[in-house]
Amino acid sequence: MKMHETKQPRPRRVGANLLFGIGLAACALTLTCGGGQQAKTDDGRTIIRFWQFWTEPRVKAVITQAVAEFEEENSEYSVEVTDLTWDNGYQKIVAAFAAERVPDLIELGSDWVTQFADRGALMDLTSEFGNMQMMYAGWAPAIYGNACWALPWYISTRVFYQNDDIAKLVQGGARPHPIVWGTIAKNAQVATVRKPQMWGYGVNAAEPHRLYKKFLPFLWSAGGEILNEDMSACALNSDAGRLALDFVAKTADFGIIEKQAALDELFVEGKLLYHLSGDWLYEKLKRSGTSMEYSVFMIPFPAPAVGGQVSFAGGEYLAIPRRGAQKIAALKLARHLLLKKHIFNLCIATGCATPVHREVAQDPYFAQDSIRRVFIDQIGRSKSPPNHPRWVDIEAALEWGIEQALYKKLSVDEALRQTCERIDAILQSERES
């Protein structure tokens, strides 16, 4: 049978076939997965790539409308909006920088601006700062090394929410806001006796990137700092640090430990007396249609005539990657997004209480709302974490220490000491690098 006598294929032939197949598949992969970023649309308009985090339909509609308006006014541009999520957006952004496939305009969390600026990843926007600083608030996180690297788009702070119904119950019919930390502790203890029907205080734990925001207002109000002035050493291990961490650790004794979303939910359900939270909770309360009586107040003083009422300030910033293909167009789009009317619409949609545009903040919608007014007053006395390029690592060390004290694994003194050791090691490694 001749068929069985057919010669074995020569290796070169097999190899050639394999190579051909691999080449074919590689081409298909390249066509589907790879390829460069298209610079223009089919009708010749320049594409601006904009990455942002607002995905909730109500807010996304505002962004879409603002972008559509920009395209209408600037017919030479087409904006390609990519939605990011807070779960992995940071990783996606860094990966884009690593792969040199950066967008033209990008929304960055306030904590990230310094890190990106320090690595030379952002375009210097100092000239914009000169033009815009009087009209916009929240510049601190955008400034690093005597230059401005991003434009504030959305800013927020934290205030105390009080369930007035429970407050009346624990204070014998009265419902004044606590002026000092001690009153919070005393009232919260009384309320927590009735758990699980009600709790005195909401304590965050086991939730990275959130816990430190609940500690810093107490640290700053007590006059403490995380780093010293030239950011060369940890300054946490101080009397103020001790006072703040001691109070936060004690809150676990008269409060409920939960994640932020669960605590917000508990407050809406009327089960929490005091809760340190942001303006999103006000929006949530309004939308819930709750009949509960509630109010907000600024961070109390550590003790009578001691310290201040300092809260945490954070936000979202618009930055332009240095290696972006359309820097001028991106700046134009950023300016458009920061127009008064778009900031107003963004604030209405997100429920933000502290518009970044100063004229919007004076609008009766914000200024005549008693709760939003507290937020506006509080943000005037708020601070952002230090603009250090290794803040993400410092934040993790700080949260480690807070958790150790909250769960009583370490004494407050020991938690402060070990946290400072960790932070100093981070600062040292940054200097060495």
Partner 1 sequence: MTTGHPPRGRHTATSWLLVSPWAVILAVFWLYPFAYALGLSFVSYEIFSGSWRWVGFANFAAVLANVEFWQALGHTVIFTVGTVPVTTTLAVLLALALNRRIWGRALFRAGFFAPTLTATVVMALVFLHLYGQGGYLYSLAGWIGLPVPEQGFLLSEKTALVSVMVMDVWISVGYFALLFLAGLQTIPAELVDDALIHGASPWRRFRAITWPYLRPMMLYAVVINLIKSFQIFTEIFVMTQGGPLGATTTAVYHIYVAGFERFNLGYASAAAFVLFAVIAIISLVQFRLFAFGRGVEE
Contact footprint for partner 1 (CB under 8 A): 1-3, 6-9, 13-14, 17-18, 20-22, 24-26, 28-29, 90-91, 94, 97-98, 100, 116, 119-121, 196, 205-208, 256-259, 262, 392-393, 396, 400, 403-404, 407, 409
The rounded distance, in Å, linking the Cα atoms of 101 and 103 is 7
DSSP string across 219-285: HHHTT--SB-TTSSSB--SSHHHHHHHHHHHHHTTSSEEE-HHHHHHHHHTT-EEEEEE-HHHHHHH
Residue 285, token pair as written in the block: 């309360």
Cβ at position 394, least distance to partner 1 in Å: 11
Asked if 267 and 284 touch (Cβ cutoff 8 Å), the reply is no
51: left (phi over 0), alpha (psi -120 to 50) or beta: beta
Closest CB to partner 1 among residues 120, 172 = 120
Looking at residue 180, what DSSP letter applies? B
Cβ at position 361, least distance to partner 1 in Å: 34
Closest CB to partner 1 among residues 22, 367 = 22
54 in helix, strand or coil?
coil
Closest CB to partner 1 among residues 11, 44 = 11
Cβ at position 234, least distance to partner 1 in Å: 18
Closest CB to partner 1 among residues 40, 408 = 408
User: Can you state the angle between helices 391-406 and 239-251, rounded to 10 degrees?
Assistant: 60
Cβ at position 377, least distance to partner 1 in Å: 33
Cβ at position 258, least distance to partner 1 in Å: 7
Q: Tokens 């954070």 map to which residue?
A: 314
Closest CB to partner 1 among residues 28, 328 = 28
Cβ at position 6, least distance to partner 1 in Å: 4
84: left (phi over 0), alpha (psi -120 to 50) or beta: beta
The rounded distance, in Å, linking the Cα atoms of 267 and 269 is 5
Closest CB to partner 1 among residues 24, 328 = 24
- Give CA angle at 214 (208, 216), nearest 5°: 105
Closest CB to partner 1 among residues 117, 166 = 117
Closest CB to partner 1 among residues 39, 98 = 98
The rounded distance, in Å, linking the Cα atoms of 345 and 156 is 16
Cβ at position 94, least distance to partner 1 in Å: 6
Asked if 254 and 262 touch (Cβ cutoff 8 Å), the reply is no
DSSP string across 345-398: HHHHHHT-SS-SBHHHHTSHHHHT-HHHHHHHHHHTTEE-----TTHHHHHHHH
Cβ at position 159, least distance to partner 1 in Å: 24
Q: Give Dmax (Cα) for the chain.
A: 107
Closest CB to partner 1 among residues 13, 286 = 13
Cβ at position 121, least distance to partner 1 in Å: 5
